[in-house]
Structure 1
Amino acid sequence: MAEQKKIFFISDLHLGMYPQKESLEREKKVVSWLDGVYREASEIYLLGDIFDYWFEYKKVVPRGFTRFLGKVAEITDTGVTVNLFTGNHDVWVFDYLPHEIGVNVYHYPITREYGGKKFLIAHGDGLGPGQTGYKILKGIFTSRILQWMYGHLLHPNFATGLAHRWSKKSRLDKGVTTEWLGEDREYLVRYAREKLEQEHFDYFVFGHRHLPRALDLNEQSKLFYLGDWIENFTYAVFNGEKLELKHYN
Structure 2
Amino acid sequence: MQIPPGKKIYFSSDNHLGAPTPAESLPREKKFVRWLEEIKHDAAAIFLLGDLFDFWFEYKTVVPKGFVRVLGKLAELRDSGIPIYFFVGNHDLWMGDYFEKELNIPTYRQPKEFTFNDKLFFVGHGDGKGPGDMGYKRMKKVFENRVFNWLFHWFHPALGMKIAQYLSVKNKLISGEEDKKFLGEENEWLALYAKRKLETKHYDYFVFGHRHLSMQIEVGENSTYFNLGDWITQYTYGVFDGEHFELKEFKG
TM interval, shorter chain, is over 0.9
Partner of 1:169: 170
Distance in 1 of aligned mates of 2:210 and 2:119:
23
Matched with 2:201 is 199
- Measured in 1, the distance between the counterparts of 2:177 and 2:221 equals 35
Contact 2:3 2:117 in 1 (8 A): no
Using the TM superposition, name which of 74-83 and 174-183 deviates more. Answer: 174-183
* Equivalent residue letter for 1:181: L
Structure-1 separation of matches of 2:95 and 2:4 = 32
- Matched with 1:158 is 159
**How far has the Cα of 1:176 moved from its partner?**
5.3
5+ residue gaps, structure 1: none
Contact 2:8 2:42 in 1 (8 A): yes
Residue identity opposite 2:249 in structure 1 = H
Paired position in structure 1 for 2:100: 98
Deviation, structure 1 residue 225: 0.5
> What does residue 28 of structure 2 align with?
26
Q: CA RMSD in A?
A: 1.4
CA contact (8 A) 1:176 1:210 kept: no
Q: Deviations over 1:67-91 (max 9, x none)?
A: 0000000000011000011000000
Alignment pair present for 1:232 and 2:234: yes
Query: Unaligned regions of 5+ residues in structure 2, if any?
Result: none
Distance 1:144 1:190 in 2: 30
Task: Measure the CA separation in 2 of the matches of 1:227 and 1:59.
Answer: 33
Distance 2:52 2:93 in 1: 10
The one-letter amino acid of 1:226's match is L
Q: Is the 8 A contact 2:128 2:136 kept in 1?
A: yes
2:190 counterpart residue number: 188
For normalisation by structure 1, the TM-score amounts to: 0.96
State the alpha-carbon separation in 2 of the partners of residues 34 and 231 from structure 1: 18
Question: Quick one: structure 1 residues 53 and 174, their matched pair in 2 at CA, closer, same or farther if it must change by over 3 Å?
Answer: closer
Report the number of matched residues.
247
Return the alpha-carbon distance in structure 2 between the equivalents of residues 121 and 174 of structure 1.
20
Instruction: Provide, for residues 155-209 of structure 1, a one-character-per-residue CA deviation record: whole Å limited to 9, x for no partner.
Output: 10011011111122236x9735322102332111110000111110000000000
Percentage identity across aligned positions? 47
CA contact (8 A) 1:206 1:224 kept: yes
Structure 1 residue matching 2:9: 3-state secondary structure = strand
> TM-score when scaled to structure 2?
0.95
Equivalent position SS for 1:223: strand
Deviation string, structure 1 residues 91-124 (Cα, Å, up to 9, x no partner): 0111111111121100000011101111000100
User: Quick one: distance in 2 between partners of 1:25 and 1:140?
Assistant: 34
Question: 1:168 and 1:136 mapped to 2: Cα distance?
Answer: 19
CA distance in 2, matches of 1:179, 1:141: 25
Q: Contact (CA 8 Å) 2:209, 2:227: kept in 1 or not? A: yes
Give the 3-state SS of the residue equivalent to 1:39 in structure 2.
coil
Tell me how far apart the structure 2 counterparts of residues 6 and 15 of structure 1 sit (CA, whole Å).
Answer: 25
Separation (CA, whole Å) in 2 of partners of 1:148 and 1:68: 28
